[in-house]
A = this chain, B = another copy of it.
Amino acid sequence: MKSLTEYLWFNTPKRRDLVNITERIAGLVKQSGVKEGLCLVSAMHITASIWVNDDEEGLWEDFWALLERLTPSGKEYKHHLTGEDNGDAHLKRTLVGYQALLPITKGALDLGPWEQVFYAEFDGKRKKRVVVKIIGE
């Protein structure tokens, strides 16, 4: 069994942002030498997600509108009694999910025709990490 572990660092200038990381992941898969296996992409901070969807700006607006509707950022959350102001960000991660497991076939990411992998930041302007863990043969 081969494995590769890598950490991607983010520090988005905006508090909420989407960053397409598909090419970076594809590069790590090549680097790993794994031909058949699995590639885990997981947001290590609890106010960020991994989102696999369309590389289309209109949809991104719909994504943010949905999340703002379901988990508004202006609300008074109990979590804010700790001094934090990012309760909505924890809940956005809860709804979107924070991991993707990407199949590796014949040495490459085995994605659908429009699947793109995004880092979704809900509380940015600080250094945060994503772990990429590849295993296989």
Q: Which residues of A contact B (CB under 8 A)?
A: 1, 3, 5, 36-38, 40, 42-46, 51-54, 56-59, 61-63, 65-66, 70-71, 77-82, 87, 90-91, 93-101, 103, 105, 110-115, 129, 131, 133, 135-137
Contacts and interface: CB of A to CB of B under 8 A. Distances in A.
A122 B99 CA distance: 21
Oligomer copy total: 3
A71 B113 CA distance: 24
Nearest to A104: B133
A16 to B, nearest CB: 15
Say what secondary structure dominates the interface of chain A: mixed
A128 to B, nearest CB: 8
Given A43-B112, A44-B115, 20 more contacts: A1-B36, A3-B37, A5-B36, A5-B103, A38-B40, A38-B135, A44-B111, A46-B53, A51-B94, A58-B77, A58-B82, A62-B79, A63-B91, A70-B70, A94-B95, A95-B96, A103-B133, A112-B129, A112-B131, A135-B135
